[in-house]
Amino acid sequence: MAVTEVKPNRRGVRSRELVLDAAEKVMAEDGFEAATLARVVDEAGIPMSSVYHYFGSKEGILLAVMERGAERFFADLPDVDRRLDSQIEHLSVLVETIGDTLEHHPDFLRILVVMAAQPFNAGEGQVHKVVNRVRELALVRLRAQMRLVFGLDAGGKAADHLARFALAAIEGAFVAHQADPKVKLDGLLEHLPAALVAIRRQLR
């Protein structure tokens, strides 16, 4: 069971980050179930007592890894508030930026995709809360871009439909790229802008 985290001092912050770096690497390589605290501790080079002090359990580490990963991921995505040239050109820049960000955060995203498929009560339901929060943040950003590109109403269904389609395509492309690194993300996402424009026309 995850416990409330202890607020670390400056030295503790460094130890905490070492644990999270190690846990993200180990969980991305081995999966959550196979990742042991012993290996995380060995990778981080800190005492087991520090892990329990700051996180309480393996589930607590997982939640902290995902929350930190989401913060870093969205911080790397620019918040564009005006349309860039044509619809296709704007969407192409958006997709290229998302693709670059996916390439820079593979470990976090591998964990996110795997955790999304876990039983709902994993980590006493906290895992799915974090997964859903990350996905909802992604949808909020994508809905805003769909409204900006296509001039849609803020509360309309069209923006939500387009955002969910885009997210599904992006997630699928990431999984396909992870399954076969020879399949490049930019190639898989190349036609997403045109697909979004075509879908928008069908929704009129």
How far apart are alpha carbons 188 and 125 in whole angstroms? 33
Q: What does DSSP assign to residue 77?
A: S
How far apart are alpha carbons 93 and 197 in whole angstroms? 14
76-202 fold: Tetracycline Repressor; domain 2 (1.10.357)
137: number of Cβ within 10 Å? 15
- Residue 152's nearest CA partner among 168, 166, 163 is 163
Summarised one tens digit per residue, pLDDT across range 9-40 is 566 678 899 999 999 999 888 887 788 899 99
Average pLDDT, the chain: 86
pLDDT band at 1 (very low <50, low <70, confident <90, very high): very low
Q: Which CATH architecture has domain 10-65?
A: Orthogonal Bundle (1.10)
Are 10-65 and 76-202 in the same CATH fold?
no
Task: Label each residue of 35-59 as H, E or C.
Answer: CCHHHHHHHHCCCHHHHHHHCCCHH
Parse the chain into domains and list their residue ranges.
10-65, 76-202
What is the mean pLDDT of the segment spanning 134-158?
A: 90
How far apart are alpha carbons 39 and 29 in whole angstroms? 12
Summarised one tens digit per residue, pLDDT across range 35-78 is 889 999 999 998 998 888 889 888 888 888 888 988 888 888 87
Summarised one tens digit per residue, pLDDT across range 118-130 is 655 655 667 778 7
| pLDDT score of 3 | 44
pLDDT band at 6 (very low <50, low <70, confident <90, very high): very low
How far apart are alpha carbons 177 and 94 in whole angstroms? 19
Q: Between 150 and 155, whose confidence is greater?
A: 150
Q: At what angle do helices 192-202 and 157-179 cross, to 10 degrees?
A: 150
The tokens describing 84, both together, are: 């860039």
